[in-house]
Structure 1
Amino acid sequence: MTQRVRDIMTASPVTVGPLASVTSVARMMRDQNVGAVLVTEEGHLRGLVSDRDLVVRALADGADPDETTVTSACSDDLVTVSPDENLDLAITLMREHAVRRIPVVDHGHPVGIVSLGDLAIERDPESALGEISAATPNT
């Protein structure tokens, strides 16, 4: 049976507007226990920001996290998939573009996100990444 992206995606991704501060996004990531947040504007996907993006693109340069918007730290050249795409396409895109997460978009609106951890849990649950991804977070 062919698996679709919708079968393993994390639905209802955490989203934030482009003017949100780096501090508020970091707190949101902590409180929601996520490593990436989708940046949206008027319901449409504008970018993706990971915890690593916040550190490397904002904090490491000495920017004031309360005054710096998430737009300056997010990736905006995104690879996306639809929820009805074959899961193998998502895997291929992750490999080709060397990304760990792919937003799932339906008619321009973000509806989910697929991560490397999601794929590991689904395809190789006994692997180290699969076990780590499935473990209860130690927040």
Structure 2
Amino acid sequence: MSQKIRDIMTSSPVTVPEQTSVHDAARRMRDADIGDVLVMDDGRMCGMITDRDLVVRALAEGLDPDWTPVGDICSTELISVGPDDDVGHAVDLMRHHALRRLPVMDDGRPVGVVSLGDLAMDRDPRSALADISSAEPNS
């Protein structure tokens, strides 16, 4: 029997409204020790923003993190998986689209995120990526 996304995903994803400032989104990531938040518009997911997006799309462009909304810099063309999809399907999508994270959607609402680290810890727990993914957070 193939393994399902629900078995390895990080559940209860952190979400923010699209008008949330980049600064507030960064604090949410820091406080939750995560590298992404899902961006919501009127109850539906409209994007995803990662720690790398904060640097490349906001700070490096000179945007004011206190006034720039995440909706202006988030990725909006999202590829997602469902909780009952096979893990192999997520691997194929991540490989094909060069993605590090996939939102997990159930009935149109986000229920989790599956990351390269989740896959590494599941597929090869002795790999360097699994070690890094399971390490204590930086202070």
Relative to the length of structure 2, the TM-score reads 0.97
Matching residue of 1:118: 118
Q: In 1, distance between residues paired with 2:82 and 2:12?
A: 14
Matching residue of 1:12: 12
Q: In 1, distance between residues paired with 2:108 and 2:45?
A: 7
Q: In 2, distance between residues paired with 1:114 and 1:52?
A: 17
Q: CA RMSD in A?
A: 0.8
Q: In 2, distance between residues paired with 1:62 and 1:27?
A: 19
**What letter corresponds to residue 108 of structure 2 in structure 1?**
G
After TM superposition, the structure 1 = structure 2 runs for residues 1-139 of structure 1, keeping only pairs within 5 Å, are 1-139=1-139
Relative to the length of structure 1, the TM-score reads 0.97
CA deviation after TM superposition for structure 1 residue 85, in Å? 0.5
Structure 2: gaps (5+ residues) = none
Deviation above 6 Å: which 4+ runs of structure 1? none
Q: In 1, distance between residues paired with 2:81 and 2:74?
A: 18
CA deviation after TM superposition for structure 1 residue 42, in Å? 2.5
Q: In 2, distance between residues paired with 1:72 and 1:59?
A: 13
Q: How many residues align?
A: 139
Q: In 2, distance between residues paired with 1:40 and 1:34?
A: 17
Q: Deviations over 1:28-84 (max 9, x none)?
A: 111111100000123211111001001100111111111100012210000000101
Q: In 2, distance between residues paired with 1:137 and 1:64?
A: 27
